[in-house]
Structure 1
Amino acid sequence: MDLSLYLVTDRSLLPVGKPHLEALEQALIGGVTVVQIREKVADTAEFLRVARESKALCDRYNVPLLVNDRVDIALAINARGVHLGQSDMPIDIARKLMPKGSIIGISCNSLHDVRRARESKADYVGLGAVWDTQTKKLTSSPIGVRGLGVLLEALDGSDIQAVAIGGIKSTNLARLLHGSVSRTNHTLDGVAVVSDIVASPNPETAARRLKSIFNACKRCILDSPAQNFVWSRGEILDNVTTIMDGVRTLSPLVHQMTNIVVSNQSANITLAVGASPIMATAPEEMSDLSKLSNGLLVNIGTLVGGSVQGMLKGGYFVNAAKNPVVLDPVGVGASDFRKSSVNELLNAWQPTVIKGNAGELAALAGSSEAASKGVDSTGGFQDPINFTRQLARKERCVVVLTGETDYVSDGKRVLMLKNGHSLLGKVTGSGCMLGSVITAYCAAANALASEDDEHEGRLTRSGDFLSAAVGAVLTLTIASEFAAKREDVHGMGTFLPALLDEVAALRPENIRQLAKVEEVE
């Protein structure tokens, strides 16, 4: 059964004057591949009437119809199957009652639910709710986009299909599909949608839009940049120099929502690499700024409640504009508020790059291997190579692990970088400045990518963000080596302005000559 666009009906959401069967037929014409009739308040006679009429219509379009909860209704109309909740009839009993070959699906909100569904031999699982939804009273907290990967991984080796449900709309579908892939590359088979189709004045258009995004995203997942970019070390350095030149030629506008401690340094380092900074946090500006900027940095160093809303909207609109978003989860392990805020951000939008020290990335990954004190890391990883690769694979983005040795991964390859000077780690905001440089380089990489790669399935063009991140790290670390050798540098106070000068003076040939980069397994 093709579950790609799974419509769940709800007559209470229909626009005034829009009959149920008219809306359903338009949705079928628009590309809905399976229909579930859900009637939470109708009595049995009315439910039977609506289900019978809907079944006749679905049969005309050769689209299977399932019935929510009610095995008796499904039997009465000869439905293709039923969808059960965790408190409904057990699957094994429903299987005995339903005709042979009937489809039986079940809602799952946890790993325990998925494992039980697998043991019960469900045909498919409905995973969610992903986000809050007004169409159904939730009995469990939303699992978020990032929670789907773990549940999908539990289906590895089985024939059970999976659809996501809960708050899914055309505006967040690309983020959902991109971010829900498991570490084992298990993907969703479809998405269940309610209000975005049912409440639309034009269900056919709404369904076509959703189906188009779904198909485009599926192609992107199968044809991801991480699988295609297999350049050698020399080719990566060639790409780095192209991106460096691109920053100075294009002067991308870099929107930075950064902490108040380092906003001046962040703006100056952005100017030093050849880009232009804009610092703004008001939620009301995010839509307009996303149309002007070429990339967004979200740095949570001095996080306050109001700023989270700006960050949520900022990332959302920049995703929609297909420009890169860089997340710097500064001190994320310091408080539950920071942890919950970052989780909320990552469930709302897709980062292009996540940059952090060992303590920050360990907290983000839920690992206790590396700790932090405030914004500083107090430990490292026994296996930083695999940690960086696994986190990049889980978050489906480039990850930069900073430290005495830096590691950069796209989830497939890991590059180890060994440039830098000890003074760089002693000045306030050096890590935050790196976030600014990464964003500028990603903005240039995105702008330099082929326009053929800009379609609705991607959240950016397929720019070379691995090389962009590597280039940004090399720019700052090699410049720090030059700055530390200057006669006018006597310590932290004189090092910072010298660093800005050296970043501005750095040229591609310096990168080629001095880069200490190697690919590691």
Structure 2
Amino acid sequence: MSKPDIDYSLYLVTGRELLPPGKDYYESLEESLKGGVTLVQVREKDTDTGEFIEVAQKTKEVCDKYGVPVLINDRIDVCLAVGAAGIHIGQTDTPLLIARSLLPPTAIIGLSVTTPDQARLAIEHGADYVGIGPVWYTTSKDLKGKLSIGPEGAGAILEVLAESRIPAVAIGGIHPPNLPFLFHASIAPDSRNYLAGIAVISDIVSSLTPETASRGLKQVIDSFLRSRSATKQPKAVFATEVGQSRTVEGFLDTVAELMVVVKKETPLIHQITNNVVINDSANATLAVGASPIMATHPKDVKDLSPAIGALLINFGTISDKEGMLVAGRQANVNRKPLVFDPVAVGGTAHRRDTSKELLSHWQPTVIKGNAAEIGALAGSSEVATRGVDSVGSSFKDPAALVKSLARRRGAIIVLTGESDYISDGETVLKASNGHSLLGHITGSGCMTGTLIATFCAGARLSHLATKQVFEGESMLVQGDMLAGALAGVLVMTVAADVAAAREDVRGPGTFRAALLDELYNLTPEVLKQRAKIEIL
């Protein structure tokens, strides 16, 4: 007999201690199987042998009804006793070669790995699959305290595994908001090897509705795996309109449409932003026809989320981190556009650490920053940072950088500067409006982030109003988010061009007031006439 064919895409690791009060383990298990779990590992670290065998046997009976294989964590004796499909072992458990000698030749053996060297040994010793992690910090008792490796660390291991074609699943701190980023960012840079799936514990076991939790995860996983099997680059976590004209004229028509939608629908734009620019950002939001709200308390932001059109998180002063964490998660849950402006992210260790923490909790729709900020997120040292400013010239190939980062992060990337570069990982747009006076007033970049959020809200509303057909219905945000990001950039920079040309503008002070006027007065016709964009 040959080994069973295993679908590793949604791999549930059990944990009865994590069940919500009143939830029966077998009831939860069956619901998760209905939701799309494809593989189950029974983990019973603190249970005696007799009870472990009983739990494993009953688990297998439930899984057999759905044709889902069962693996046992570490215990070869339990695996043999219940006739499970195989075992999963850690680095300090029974050595793989010994386990192989004791189990039937058809048994599946998986091994946890954290480093490329451990992955090489897994290949050498004949592992059937590997579990990579922990990717992020987790409260699971098996993984708690271990150093998280991040998606990039997972990618390094996938590179080692590529030639062997051994499948790999990631584990540790994975939940719906960061799942798309994990899949994108972990793709091995040279071989393009990618994850076969994810292993999840608390996101399913701790849920009161494990079927719904499983189904949500499975939709994102399947969407990614379909994109890879079709030999395409994975799309980001927003939808792309089928048949949308991706020409300069087509983009400008869409931007003009979004300007009308925003004025008509007046979406509520939730902004957690730095205290230097709160007033300017609120006024810019009002000037283009939307409505601002600047709530920051975690309880406020959770209740607000269903009503908002989009969320901007600008961590210029990083004084409301808890509110940022909750607001971002809720925006993802409610499928609202989330714009992240990581101000001076490369400037201090605190900012880098905070950015990593935020991005492990939620998935942004758009990331907007100057050259130093985008460079820090991309791991590039071409541009340095001084405070909130970039120092030195821009990147040698900014178009390639934003396209690559958009693919890795699964988000629209907006690189602002003398020219602005915007990409969804497939298309790269270059916008060349704007005026040097923007660099002489505080908060012009932050206001650009505000307007990007505003017009991404417009893009979502436009989709909902017209009920157009979109690809990737399981994605987190619906609407033409690339056009929304472009609209935010163009409205800001074209209004700046018009304001700077006014006779009453004599310097930064008069320019600031004129900019607000021209944001208010800007029409779609003027924008289309003056906009300077290229598709690269």
Question: Which residue of the partner structure matches residue 400 of structure 2?
Answer: 386
Offset at residue 404 of structure 1 (A): 0.9
2:46 is the alignment partner of 1:37: no
Question: Which residue of the partner structure matches residue 299 of structure 1?
Answer: 314
2:128 is the alignment partner of 1:123: yes
Q: Alpha carbons of 1:211 and 1:475: their partners in 2 closer, same or farther (altered >3 Å)?
A: same
Q: Alpha carbons of 1:297 and 1:83: their partners in 2 closer, same or farther (altered >3 Å)?
A: same
Offset at residue 17 of structure 1 (A): 7.9
Q: Alpha carbons of 1:389 and 1:78: their partners in 2 closer, same or farther (altered >3 Å)?
A: same
Q: Alpha carbons of 1:48 and 1:361: their partners in 2 closer, same or farther (altered >3 Å)?
A: same
- Using the size of structure 2 for normalisation, the TM-score is 0.87
Offset at residue 509 of structure 1 (A): 1.6
Question: Which residue of the partner structure matches residue 267 of structure 2?
Answer: 252
CA offset digits 1:129-152 (Å, max 9, x no partner): 344224435241344567655555
2:147 is the alignment partner of 1:141: yes
Offset at residue 442 of structure 1 (A): 0.5
Q: Alpha carbons of 1:23 and 1:509: their partners in 2 closer, same or farther (altered >3 Å)?
A: closer
Question: Which residue of the partner structure matches residue 70 of structure 2?
Answer: 65
Offset at residue 111 of structure 1 (A): 4.4
Q: Alpha carbons of 1:507 and 1:36: their partners in 2 closer, same or farther (altered >3 Å)?
A: same
CA offset digits 1:468-494 (Å, max 9, x no partner): 111221111122111111111111111
Aligned residue type for 2:476:
L
CA offset digits 1:211-258 (Å, max 9, x no partner): 321332245434643696661111111111111111111111111111
Aligned residue type for 1:512:
K
Offset at residue 334 of structure 1 (A): 1.4
Question: Which residue of the partner structure matches residue 352 of structure 1?
Answer: 365
Aligned residue type for 2:396:
Q
Q: Alpha carbons of 1:113 and 1:507: their partners in 2 closer, same or farther (altered >3 Å)?
A: farther
- Using the size of structure 1 for normalisation, the TM-score is 0.89
Structure 1 segment 444-463 matched on structure 2, within 5 A: 444-450=458-464, 451=467, 457-461=474-478, 463=479
Offset at residue 93 of structure 1 (A): 3.7
Equivalent residue for 2:96, pick from 73, 91, 101: 91
CA offset digits 1:108-129 (Å, max 9, x no partner): 3344444543454422222333
Q: Alpha carbons of 1:432 and 1:174: their partners in 2 closer, same or farther (altered >3 Å)?
A: closer
CA distance in 2, matches of 1:27, 1:396: 27
Question: Which residue of the partner structure matches residue 377 of structure 1?
Answer: 390
Structure 1 segment 30-429 matched on structure 2, within 5 A: 31-59=36-64, 61-129=66-134, 130-136=136-142, 138-143=144-149, 148=154, 151-152=157-158, 155-168=161-174, 172-173=175-176, 175-177=178-180, 179-181=182-184, 182-183=186-187, 188-198=195-205, 205-206=209-210, 208-221=211-224, 222=226, 224=235, 225=239, 231-304=246-319, 307-379=320-392, 380-429=394-443
Offset at residue 188 of structure 1 (A): 4.0
CA distance in 2, matches of 1:211, 1:193: 9
Contact 1:124 1:160 in 2 (8 A): yes
Question: Which residue of the partner structure matches residue 513 of structure 1?
Answer: 529
Aligned residue type for 1:292:
A
SS of 1:213's equivalent in the other structure is helix
CA offset digits 1:289-323 (Å, max 9, x no partner): 1122111111111123xx11111111111111111
Contact 2:36 2:218 in 1 (8 A): no
CA distance in 2, matches of 1:441, 1:15: 40
Q: Alpha carbons of 1:476 and 1:79: their partners in 2 closer, same or farther (altered >3 Å)?
A: same
CA distance in 1, matches of 2:29, 2:435: 65
Offset at residue 344 of structure 1 (A): 0.8
Contact 1:405 1:418 in 2 (8 A): yes
CA distance in 1, matches of 2:314, 2:89: 43
Structure 1 residue ranges without an equivalent (≥5) = none
Offset at residue 80 of structure 1 (A): 1.0
Aligned residue type for 2:346:
G
CA distance in 1, matches of 2:463, 2:163: 37
Q: Alpha carbons of 1:212 and 1:269: their partners in 2 closer, same or farther (altered >3 Å)?
A: same
CA offset digits 1:432-482 (Å, max 9, x no partner): 110111110101001111456699822211x11111111221111122111
CA offset digits 1:190-227 (Å, max 9, x no partner): 333334554567xxx51x21332133224543464369
Percent of aligned pairs sharing the same letter: 48
RMSD: 2.8
Aligned residue type for 1:514:
R
SS of 2:396's equivalent in the other structure is coil
- Give the total of aligned pairs: 510
Moved more, 223-232 or 122-131: 223-232
